[in-house]
């Protein structure tokens, strides 16, 4: 089981690509954390990353990193299809794991990781930073207070035209490419955070023969009578915003959906003019800091999951994503 040194978590970053480069500074700045190492597929890229970000150790393989007693926890920022194997290796080595979304490509894989984490008494969480951000947290507080009444509807989208020579994680089927698992994971996670597990799913869109989905629109229905209309794409622009409709008002999640810079709370009953309150959330570095702080605190407190985003929530979202993919794959008219 991983411990901690002097009341601090000693982190290593797994992967040296765009995601790791984007997030590592927030991890360094998160408090109660020392980012001490990086692992990559080659020693050369690991050395370069360590030199750039001032990390003490660089490993040319995940196995070498996991053999180190100087590391308590790993943050995995590699392509989607590698998450299961990398997280499994780290958990079995007794390291706490925070892994980029999606945690795995299937719900069964996520369940298996949870069993391994429990067996080795270590922390495991998908890095769903959206849930920890102040915009989403404040929206949940407002909903709980009854400001917009009972939430009944979510409309949300996320997408942009990704060049075909852009990041391979979008276009390579072997890496889990497509819009749904990279972007749709946010929209589905938000819908299920608000309404629970869907009872009915419909979906349409375009999928290449190799399984890379280009775009999709999908509607989720819930036992409460609530519904969510969601869109994701890697071929056209979908404004990264959300709108929550309630029986007494609404909350608009402004851009970007995964870390809103502001929300707008609208209340009132027509024909009277609405009352609109805008609440702003100045960006704090990249936006991962609230999640990293929460994970540090959880690990130091001896927790093995975080209540804001437990493994059960990850599994439920993955089940929904699997159903959406199945609907896209089974509809001949949706082949891109």
The residues annotated with a catalytic role in the active site are 101
199 close to 221: Cβ distance less than 8 angstroms: yes
Joined tokens for residue 26? 């927030």
| DSSP strand pairing (262-267 vs 249-253) | antiparallel
Cα–Cα dist 173/76, whole Å: 20
CB-facing half-sphere around the CA of 119: CA atoms within 13 A: 11
Q: What is the 3-state secondary structure (H, E, C) of 159-176?
A: ECCCCCCCCHHHHCHHHC
Cα–Cα dist 62/193, whole Å: 33
Enclosing H/E stretch for 55: none
Q: Alpha carbon 155 to chain centroid distance?
A: 18
The distance between the two most distant Cα atoms of the chain, rounded to a whole number of Å, is 67
Cα–Cα dist 20/7, whole Å: 24
Query: Does residue 272 come out as left (phi exceeding 0), alpha (psi in the -120 to 50 range) or beta?
Result: beta
């Amino acid at each position: 089981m991983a411990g901690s040194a002097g009341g601090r978590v000693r982190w290593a970053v797994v992967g040296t690509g765009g995601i790791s480069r984007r997030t590592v500074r927030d991890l360094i700045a998160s408090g109660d954390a020392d980012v001490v190492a990086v692992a990559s597929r080659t020693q050369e890229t690991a050395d370069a990353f360590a030199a750039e970000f001032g990390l003490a150790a660089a490993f040319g393989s995940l196995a070498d990193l996991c053999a180190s007693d100087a590391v308590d926890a790993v943050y995995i920022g590699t392509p989607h299809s590698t998450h299961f194997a990398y997280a499994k290796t780290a958990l079995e080595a007794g390291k706490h794991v925070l892994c980029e979304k999606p945690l795995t490509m299937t719900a069964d894989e996520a369940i298996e990781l949870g069993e391994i984490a429990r067996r080795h008494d270590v922390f495991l969480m998908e890095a769903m930073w959206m849930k920890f951000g102040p915009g989403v947290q404040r929206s949940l507080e407002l909903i709980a207070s009854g400001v917009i009444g009972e939430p009944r509807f979510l409309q949300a989208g996320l997408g942009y035209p990704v060049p075909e020579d852009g990041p391979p994680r979008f276009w390579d089927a072997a890496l889990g490419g497509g819009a749904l698992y990279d972007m749709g994971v946010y929209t589905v996670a938000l819908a299920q955070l608000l309404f629970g597990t869907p009872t009915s799913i419909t979906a349409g869109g375009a999928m290449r023969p190799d399984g890379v989905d280009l775009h999709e629109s999908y509607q989720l229905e819930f036992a409460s009578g609530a519904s969510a209309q969601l869109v994701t794409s890697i071929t056209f622009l979908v404004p990264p915003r959300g709108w929550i409709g309630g029986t007494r008002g609404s909350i608009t999640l402004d851009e970007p959906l995964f870390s809103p810079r502001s929300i707008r709370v609208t209340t009132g009953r027509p024909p009277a003019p609405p009352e609109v309150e805008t609440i702003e959330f100045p960006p704090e570095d990249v936006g991962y800091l609230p999640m990293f702080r929460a994970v540090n605190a959880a690990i130091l407190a001896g927790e093995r999951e975080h209540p804001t985003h437990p493994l059960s929530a990850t599994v439920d979202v993955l089940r929904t994503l699997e159903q959406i993919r199945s609907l896209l794959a089974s509809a001949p008219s949706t082949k891109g």
